[in-house]
Structure 1
């Protein structure tokens, strides 16, 4: 499984509608945060390893009504307490 994040800028007055559409309609988006700054939402997505992330964002995310702009952040590694760098 691959994880990535998408910063989402919404049309004015549509942030909560967009967030609801993401979590209600996309199983790949288990969590969406409202945030401050240049973007309105930060969504976490999880896809199968062989899924084209660019095509997914283009066809499934950017087509949601109320989304004005996106920026995709692809994750390389996840470090947790039980799975760190291994340099102990």
Structure 2
């Protein structure tokens, strides 16, 4: 399994709807947080080693109603 973190910029007034869509519709999600700053949400996902990260983000996450932009970080190793 590999962990990825995705930040979501949502259309105005849509952050809670996007968070709900992530939790209800994406089985790979681990957790999602509302955040301050340039992005509205931060979510952690666990993907199978053979799963294509680019396809997952572009086809399953960026297409969620209310998502305006995403920023993806691939994690290499967890400490602690």
User: Is the TM-score greater than 0.5?
Assistant: yes
In the other structure, the counterpart of 1:8 is 8
In the other structure, the counterpart of 1:79 is 79
Q: For residues 17-56 of structure 1, what are the structure 2 equivalents within 5 Å?
A: 17-56=17-56
Instruction: Give the total of aligned pairs.
Output: 80
**Alignment RMSD:** 0.5
Q: Which has the higher contact order (CA 8 A, sep 6+)?
A: 2
Give 4+ residue runs of structure 1 displaced > 4 Å after superposition: none
Distance of 1:19 and 1:61 partners within structure 2: 11
Greater per-residue strand proportion: 2
Q: What TM-score, normalized by structure 2, do the two folds share?
A: 0.98
* Unaligned segments of structure 1, at least 5 residues: 81-88
| 1:61-88 CA distance string (max 9 Å, x none) | 00000000000000011111xxxxxxxx
* Unaligned segments of structure 2, at least 5 residues: none
**Pair member with larger Rg:** 1
In the other structure, the counterpart of 1:70 is 70
Distance of 2:76 and 2:5 partners within structure 1: 12
